[in-house]
Amino acid sequence: MGEVLLYLLLAGVGPSHVHTFQVIGFDITPNSGSSLRKVLRLNLSRFMDRLSAISVSATREHGLELTLRRMKEEWDSVNFTTSNVR
């Protein structure tokens, strides 16, 4: 069961990915009434393959987003000057 929680709580899994968890047949979007007890009652371990695939994809996407953000920050201070060639 710990793996299920890990997949749901990975840094890369955000609001844009939670809707993809609906492939298990019901919505597991966290809300103010969510609790560990309720997650455990859902018996999500039977969906490990699907949850794993979604989480791996989300983690990779998160890594790409972080890399892009760093690249943008690095290039923010770079200025190019141009001159007429003709």
* Residues 10, 52: Cα–Cα separation, whole Å: 11
Distance CA 21, CA 42 (A): 13
Give Dmax over CA atoms of the chain in angstroms: 73
Q: What is the CA radius of gyration of the chain?
A: 20
Ordered by start, the domain boundaries in the chain are: 1-11+35-68
pLDDT-derived band at 74 (thresholds 50, 70, 90) equals very high
pLDDT for the residue numbered 49: 82
Phi-psi region of 28 (alpha: psi -120 to 50; beta: other; left: phi over 0): alpha
Model pLDDT for residues 18-65, shown as the tens digit of each residue: 666 666 777 776 677 777 787 788 887 888 888 788 778 888 888 898
Phi-psi map region of 46: left, alpha, beta (phi>0 left; psi -120 to 50 alpha)? alpha
Its pTM stands at 0.60
